[in-house]
């Protein structure tokens, strides 16, 4: 049952959560000046429609893809997907943007101020309870997660926009000068846009990832085309409408719904100067080849956590482990995939506490829910293979969710943990299997002894994706050892270390790969969405009595 709150500032208590969370329903989505849907009314009888945006206009398509509700299998969203014959308007639109961008330090600098104003207006809109609630509920409809997790995504997006209000956009283009060799000579370094660019983002954060990358691209003077996974693109379509309402020039961004094959064709024909891809490693590697390296990647992460020898605050550490592994049903690129537990933790109640926390998760409040990229059968098959490794055992979970109507095209698994001995993990025949990323509520747990730290570090070295990590210890020498011999781009260290969390206040992204992309911070924006240009001014004057010198 859904509860309506008369006062939008009042929340339903957590114990009243339903499939759609503890939210208040606004009297009508039409009271929001940008919205074209009402999240709680999207259904088979009232399906939402998702459009494309190109050359300043919303457009449909000759091909509509019907999506099913991940909670009950009912057709509930129609997406106007562009096929390979329909990419021409998008190619033409990108081609109109010059390589020097829509603005740069020497061209239309007033647009830096424009985007500061747009950010301020959009941040204000997201601060309104009815607007933040609208997006949180919309996220829940397409990528089911708890209301708190969905609202957290809206909150991070708002704080990011607040960070780039006023003059903060032009400060991203701050330059520097170095004295030259003689009077009248100076070299100046500038941040320069790429011009036409592309943004491709996944399903798991349908608001935060595309908005942060889109705005970063725009701040630096680029013209992006945005493609979000069609399963969740309704969220970004509505956000595009909000941004237009806040003053975003309609010619500055194109928005497309398509399958991967069509998007690949578009990229090959439009030849954007840079493409940001967030998603699977397999697709990332293909794009890197097809686009001749003109990419920035924030790809998959098999993320690890190490519990150091200093045991303390077991309840807290267990709670963070549960959140890292199973919040959003494990569908975060930063989710805890493997837990390395020092032998000192084995004599504590840590594992039983993690088990208890995992087992209190339920579909009714979406603290566990549909897995959108792995079927139940695929996850159970992976469990079966892992349990064939000598010494491995099921710690908890490993069974399908019960009493649900999640369609079979999606996964429905209880939060799962499997123990695999460290010695077995490192064996050639096992390592690839154990470190396979399962984008769902699934983790590997192992134990290491005091004299096995080098074995543990070898396991980290052999991993191919280095996104997030956590070293849970307040022992400075242990932290030095592990941090100094690992590479993950976003690493938390200390008693309160976690693997998940991509707030707007610190860099989030992989390390160890020159193609790695960051998100959220000024450093990330400048790295991903601009390049360096050096301009050397040399005005003279010439020395008095200068003469042409001999040839050299």
Please measure the distance between the N-terminal and C-terminal CA atoms of the chain and give it in whole angstroms: 86
Compute, in degrees rounded to 10, the torsion defined by CA atoms 485, 487, 488, 492: 40
Is residue 333 annotated as part of the catalytic site, yes or no? yes
| Contacts of residue 550, Cβ cutoff 8 Å, sequence gap at least 6 | none
Distance of CA 486 to the CA centre of its chain: 22
CA distance 418 to 412: 17
Helix/strand/coil for 40: helix
Compute, in degrees rounded to 10, the torsion defined by CA atoms 475, 322, 506, 490: 60
Is residue 298 annotated as part of the catalytic site, yes or no? yes
Q: Indicate if the alpha-carbon torsion angle 69, 73, 74, 78 is positive or negative.
A: positive
CA distance 291 to 458: 33
**94 and 272 Cβ atoms separated by less than 8 Å:** yes
- In this structure, what are the phi and psi dihedrals at residue 307, rounded to the nearest 5 degrees? -95, 115
The active-site residue, picked from 298, 321, 437, 447, is 298
Q: Indicate if the alpha-carbon torsion angle 470, 475, 476, 478 is positive or negative.
A: negative
Q: Which helix (H) or strand (E) holds 126?
A: helix 110-127
| Token pair listed for 439 | 């984008």
| Token pair listed for 376 | 């139940």
Neighbours of 14 (CB within 10 A): 12
Helix/strand/coil for 435: coil
CA distance 325 to 304: 10
CA distance 314 to 325: 16
Neighbours of 481 (CB within 10 A): 17
| Contacts of residue 54, Cβ cutoff 8 Å, sequence gap at least 6 | 89, 90, 93, 254, 255, 256
CA distance 254 to 218: 12
The active-site residue, picked from 97, 153, 333, 437, is 333
Helix spans in 167-313 (H): 168-171, 208-219, 233-245, 260-270, 281-290
| Token pair listed for 441 | 């509520």
CA distance 269 to 126: 36
- In this structure, what are the phi and psi dihedrals at residue 274, rounded to the nearest 5 degrees? -155, 140
Helix/strand/coil for 465: coil
Supply the residues annotated as catalytic. Answer: 298, 333
């Amino acid at each position: 049952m859904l509860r309506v709150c008369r006062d939008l500032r009042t929340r339903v208590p957590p114990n009243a959560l339903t499939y759609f969370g503890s939210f208040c329903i606004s009297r009508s989505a039409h009271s929001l000046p940008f919205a074209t849907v009402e999240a709680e009314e999207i259904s088979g009888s009232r399906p939402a429609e998702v459009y494309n945006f190109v050359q300043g206009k919303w457009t449909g398509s000759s091909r509509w893809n019907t999506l099913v509700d991940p909670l009950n299998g009912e057709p509930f969203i129609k997406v106007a997907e562009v096929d390979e014959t329909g990419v021409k308007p998008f190619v033409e639109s990108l081609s109109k943007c010059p390589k020097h961008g829509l603005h740069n330090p020497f061209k239309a600098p007033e647009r830096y101020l424009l985007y500061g104003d747009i950010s301020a207006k959009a941040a204000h809109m997201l601060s309104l309870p009815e607007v933040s609630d609208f997006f949180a509920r919309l996220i829940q409809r397409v990528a089911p997660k708890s209301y708190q997790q969905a609202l957290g995504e809206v909150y991070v997006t708002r704080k990011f926009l607040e960070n780039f209000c006023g003059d903060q956009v032009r400060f991203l283009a701050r330059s520097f000068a170095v004295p030259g060799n003689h009077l009248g000579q100076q070299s100046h370094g500038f941040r320069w846009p790429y011009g036409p660019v592309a943004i491709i983002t996944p399903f798991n954060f349908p608001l935060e990832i595309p908005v942060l990358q889109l705005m970063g691209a725009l701040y630096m003077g680029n013209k992006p085309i945005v493609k979000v996974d069609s399963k969740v693109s309704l969220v970004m379509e509505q956000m595009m409408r909000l941004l237009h309402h806040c003053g975003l020039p309609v010619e500055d961004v194109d928005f497309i719904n398509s399958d991967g094959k069509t998007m690949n064709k578009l990229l090959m024909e439009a030849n954007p100067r840079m493409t940001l891809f967030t998603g699977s490693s397999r697709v990332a590697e293909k794009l890197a080849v097809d686009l001749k390296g003109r990419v920035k990647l924030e790809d998959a992460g098999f993320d690890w956590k190490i519990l150091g020898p200093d045991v303390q605050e077991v309840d807290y550490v267990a709670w963070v482990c549960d959140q890292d592994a199973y919040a959003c049903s494990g569908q975060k690129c930063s989710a805890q995939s493997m837990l390395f537990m020092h032998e000192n933790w084995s004599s504590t109640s840590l594992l039983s506490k993690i088990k208890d926390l995992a087992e209190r998760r339920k579909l009714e409040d979406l603290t566990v829910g549909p897995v959108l990229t792995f079927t139940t059968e695929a996850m159970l098959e992976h469990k079966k293979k892992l349990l064939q490794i000598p010494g491995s055992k099921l710690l908890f979970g490993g069974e399908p969710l019960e009493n649900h109507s999640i369609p079979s095209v999606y996964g429905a698994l209880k939060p799962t943990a499997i123990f695999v001995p460290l010695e077995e993990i490192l064996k050639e025949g096992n390592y690839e299997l154990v470190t396979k990323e399962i984008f769902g509520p699934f983790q590997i747990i192992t134990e290491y002894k005091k004299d096995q730290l080098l074995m543990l570090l070898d396991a980290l070295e052999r991993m191919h994706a280095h996104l997030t990590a956590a070293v849970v210890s307040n022992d400075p020498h242990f932290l030095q050892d592990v941090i100094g011999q690992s590479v993950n781009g976003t690493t938390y260290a200390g008693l309160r270390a976690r693997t998940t969390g991509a707030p707007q206040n610190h860099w989030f992204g992989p390390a160890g790969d020159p193609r790695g992309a960051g998100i959220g911070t000024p450093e990330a924006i400048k790295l991903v969405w601009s390049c360096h240009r050096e301009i050397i001014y040399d005005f003279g004057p010439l020395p008095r009595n200068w003469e042409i010198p001999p040839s050299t």
